[in-house]
Amino acid sequence: MAIGVWLVGARGNVATLSMVGARAVAREVAGTTGMVTARDPVASLDMPPVEEFAFAGRNLRVLSREGHNILGNTDGLVLEEEENGAGKIESEGRLLERILGYETHNGVRIDYTPSLGDWKTAWDHIHFEGFLGTETKKQFTWESSDSALAAPLLPDLVRLVAYADEHCEGGIQPPLASFFKSTMGVDEHDLSGQLELFYDYAERHAEGR
């Protein structure tokens, strides 16, 4: 029997990661580290398995979004110039509209801060309308090495593209949409949907289909 899971703010970071993570655990492509219900003595209880989760969500109306990035590496220096950063800003705005399904204010700012070196700080301010039209604001900040965020993608992409080439699947790779901000060959812009494409591709090949 399916277990309904209703999420308020279904497009948020935690909600998205929870849904993707649950699907990954159900497909046995991810472990259960961090899940206390997967450890004894709790695991011995007769609880519904993760694969029975059926997700739904209440999508709140986003009124505006402001994003501010500061970093001190070459990317920051180049993107701070209005002409160079225009493409990145445009792609982020276009992506948000495609995910939401409607236009909204989407401000993006990139500043070069030399002392940060390769470290990046990103701040987002989201103004949205919730239940009974109540206006609410959400802010979050994260910090990390800019290069370390992107570097792991390269070996994965090389392996996946080489695998596709060996199986006569050259050209645009729709199953790899989750690796890119601006996708090609696929209209799915929701991360959970993109990962479904990726996992379906992997399962199909694993089963020899």
The CATH number of the structural domain formed by 62-145 is 3.30.360.10
Smallest CA-to-CA distance from 139 within 123, 152, 151, 128 is with: 123
Could you give the CA distance from residue 174 to residue 179 in angstroms, rounded to a whole number?
10
Give the start-to-end residue ranges of the domains of the chain: 3-58, 62-145, 152-206
Smallest CA-to-CA distance from 15 within 73, 69, 57 is with: 57
- Residue located via tokens 């070196």: 117
Could you give the CA distance from residue 182 to residue 98 in angstroms, rounded to a whole number?
11
The tens-digit pLDDT sequence of the chain (209 residues) is 778 887 766 666 677 778 888 888 888 888 888 887 888 877 777 888 888 888 776 667 899 999 998 988 888 888 888 777 777 777 777 778 887 888 889 988 888 999 998 899 999 999 998 777 889 898 989 898 888 878 888 888 888 899 888 889 888 999 888 888 778 888 887 777 888 888 888 888 888 76
- Residue located via tokens 């011995």: 44
The answer for 40, left when phi > 0, alpha when psi is -120 to 50, beta otherwise, is beta
